[in-house]
Amino acid sequence: HNSIFYYNRSKMPPKSKVKKSISKPKKTGPKGMIQSLPSGLVLTDLIKNTWKLGPKIGQGGFGFIYSGAQMTSKNVSHASNSEYVIKVEPHANGPLYGEIAFYQRVAKVEYIDEWLKSKEKMFVGIPRYIATGSFDYDSIKYRFLVMERFGTDIEKVFKQCNMKFPEKTVCSLALRIIEALEYIHSKEYVHADIKSSNLMLGWKKSTEKQVYLLDYGLAYRYAPDGKHVMYKEDPKRKHDGTIEYTSRDAHRGCAPSRKGDLEILGYCMVQWLCSRLPWEDNLKDKNFVMEEKIKYMNDIPSFIKKCFPNEKPVYLQDYLKIIANMKYDEQPDYQKIKDLFVAALKKLNIVDDGVSIQLPIAISAQKKRQSMTEDKSPNKKKKISDDSKDVAEIKSVARLARSPLKDNNDFKKTKAYKRKLATDSSPADPACLTYDSHLPINQNDISSLKHSDLFTISGHTVTRKPVLENMTRKPIVKETYKMRNKEQTDLNGAEKRVNLRPRKRNVPTRDFGQSP
């Protein structure tokens, strides 16, 4: 029996391996974020205040960014209704956790106010800490950070200015950023990722010329026990930060420092003034970028000459020399550095107010135009007065009356002309539009006077008033336009067909001669 069983088993066909398809949820966002959270979700922070989540307005490496409101009864169905933003990330992620720790240790309102009072200043561009907390949704645990809302970032402004800022903008930006760095350095932190996309203008009208330093995901505590960390090159940390701007020490793998923050700002200012850094052509080769920075920072005059062949900004050259001569753990002389840019602004006849930045003229005018044309309620339609409608109708009639009759011999040979003959074989519509041009049609006349002074409108007939009798006359032309059959009749009685583009309608049309 055993042999028979063995024989049958050997003759059995092999089992077909069926691969079980396991449906995995598609990731639509950052790590751990399977889907965006629903608008209207209520969150509770650490001190039991409630926040309502609005629509998603962006995302980062940590998670999603939503608009938000403090009161649960506040309507946040539209992003323009909220004064706050709420950053959300899963607990499995880490960047937002570090940023929350920074805000709790550095950016509380009482800490900032105390520093401003001690320095006799009115403003520092650090976002205030508002609230944080955790919540569960769909079996996933999240953390969140509530922040004040900001406007556009400097990167967008830079691109709108064709990748070049005027000196007044760069100097005023430098003053505001150095003051922000001075504050966070006093709290034993460094930023380590200063760049134009992390600099944002205020959202409110009162703060639209103030700049804030954001994104503290790479913020580093350089003196956790009151003493600066030692200089140590770690191969695992080489080239940390944004490759275009990161410091030479960060390229070597050292921990971020105050000197490194100011060096990063120096590279940003060079780019803002000359549009491009010398090493931007080969950013994929990080060692090449590091070597280029070392070479140019060891010979700053050649660095400035390379970027500014015509007129060199002396204040920027002096700034880079100060940074190049600093030690790794040295405390910067912030006032000496700021004096360079205050003096540069005075040469431009600009006095720094300690609060705002000098936006480019083009951007300032654009923001003014946007504020003038901004519609606070998005669903509200603009009202058009009857007078403006009449003037627009008169202009279109006058434009049509001035257009010459076309010779359509070539058009008559086409198939479109034959189809047009078939569709136009119906009797002419008696309703027509008549323009009586006893005086010349001048566009300036129409735009400079009211329609009531120029024309009398009666049904489909538009007749010019005799108020402009003293103007230069042209020969009387009387033209009749058959709007449905596209026919034109001149004084000699000859009819010519003109291929006019039919007007599109959003609703089905019907012949009004028929019964409904």
DSSP string, 87-105: EEEETT--HHHHHHHHHHH
How many Å apart are CA 354 and CA 360, to the nearest integer?
Answer: 18
Helices (H) and strands (E) in the chain, counts: 16, 17
Taking residues 17-33, what's their average pLDDT?
48
Q: Is the pLDDT of residue 200 over 50?
A: yes
Taking residues 85-100, what's their average pLDDT?
89
Asked if 472 and 428 touch (Cβ cutoff 8 Å), the reply is: no
CATH code of the region 151-363: 1.10.510.10
The helix/strand/coil state of 312 is coil
DSSP 494: -
**Which residues pair with residue 85 across a beta bridge?**
67, 147
pLDDT at site 282: 93
Q: How confident is the model at residue 170 (pLDDT cuts 50, 70, 90)?
A: very high
Select the more confidently predicted residue: 6 or 225. Answer: 225
How many Å apart are CA 332 and CA 181, to the nearest integer?
Answer: 10
Tokens describing residue 443: 């566009």
pLDDT at site 217: 87
pLDDT at site 57: 87
Give the count of beta carbons closer than 10 Å to the beta carbon of residue 341. Answer: 23
DSSP 187: T
* pLDDT tens-digit map of 344-355: 999 999 999 999
Give the lowest-confidence range in 73-87, 317-331, 474-488.
474-488
Taking residues 288-314, what's their average pLDDT?
95
Label the pairing between strands 433-437 and 461-464: parallel
For residue 58, the number of C-alpha atoms closer than 13 Å in the C-beta half-sphere is 13
Highest mean pLDDT among 294-308, 405-419, 430-444, 478-492: 294-308
Q: How confident is the model at residue 83 (pLDDT cuts 50, 70, 90)?
A: confident
Give the lowest-confidence range in 171-185, 293-307, 416-430.
416-430
How many Å apart are CA 112 and CA 208, to the nearest integer?
Answer: 20
* pLDDT tens-digit map of 274-289: 999 999 999 999 999 9
Please state the domain extents for the chain: 41-148, 151-363
Taking residues 19-48, what's their average pLDDT?
68
Q: Is the pLDDT of residue 454 over 60?
A: no
How many Å apart are CA 130 and CA 109, to the nearest integer?
Answer: 8
The percentage of residues in the chain with a pLDDT greater than 90, rounded to a whole number, is 52
pLDDT at site 205: 87
Select the more confidently predicted residue: 427 or 220. Answer: 220
Give the count of beta carbons closer than 10 Å to the beta carbon of residue 489. Answer: 16
Q: Is the pLDDT of residue 202 over 60?
A: yes
For residue 71, the number of C-alpha atoms closer than 13 Å in the C-beta half-sphere is 4
Q: Is the pLDDT of residue 368 over 80?
A: no
* pLDDT tens-digit map of 111-132: 999 999 999 999 999 999 999 9
Taking residues 69-94, what's their average pLDDT?
78
Question: Is 87 annotated in some ligand binding site?
Answer: yes
DSSP for 211-278 reads EEE---TT-EES-TTSSPPPP---GGGTT-S-TTT--HHHHHTPPP-HHHHHHHHHHHHHHHHHS--T
Highest mean pLDDT among 76-90, 435-449, 477-491: 76-90
How many Å apart are CA 64 and CA 44, to the nearest integer?
Answer: 18
How many Å apart are CA 283 and CA 243, to the nearest integer?
Answer: 7
Kindly report the average pLDDT of the chain as a whole number: 76
* pLDDT tens-digit map of 372-401: 444 444 444 444 444 444 445 445 544 544
Taking residues 202-211, what's their average pLDDT?
91
How many Å apart are CA 438 and CA 447, to the nearest integer?
Answer: 18
pLDDT at site 80: 64
How many Å apart are CA 265 and CA 177, to the nearest integer?
Answer: 8
Taking residues 449-461, what's their average pLDDT?
46
Of 103, 74, 203, 79, the C-alpha closest to 148 is 203
Give the lowest-confidence range in 34-38, 67-71, 223-227.
34-38
Taking residues 441-464, what's their average pLDDT?
46
Q: Is the pLDDT of residue 309 over 70?
A: yes
Q: Is the pLDDT of residue 136 over 90?
A: yes
Select the more confidently predicted residue: 268 or 476. Answer: 268
pLDDT at site 326: 97
pLDDT at site 21: 44
Superfamily classification of domain 41-148: Phosphorylase Kinase; domain 1 (3.30.200.20)
Select the more confidently predicted residue: 337 or 452. Answer: 337
Catalytic residues: 193
How many Å apart are CA 64 and CA 261, to the nearest integer?
Answer: 27
Contacts of 204 (CB under 8 A, 6+ apart): none
Q: How confident is the model at residue 92 (pLDDT cuts 50, 70, 90)?
A: confident
pLDDT at site 373: 44
Of 249, 231, 250, the C-alpha closest to 239 is 250
How many Å apart are CA 410 and CA 407, to the nearest integer?
Answer: 8
How many Å apart are CA 291 and CA 342, to the nearest integer?
Answer: 32
Contacts of 389 (CB under 8 A, 6+ apart): none
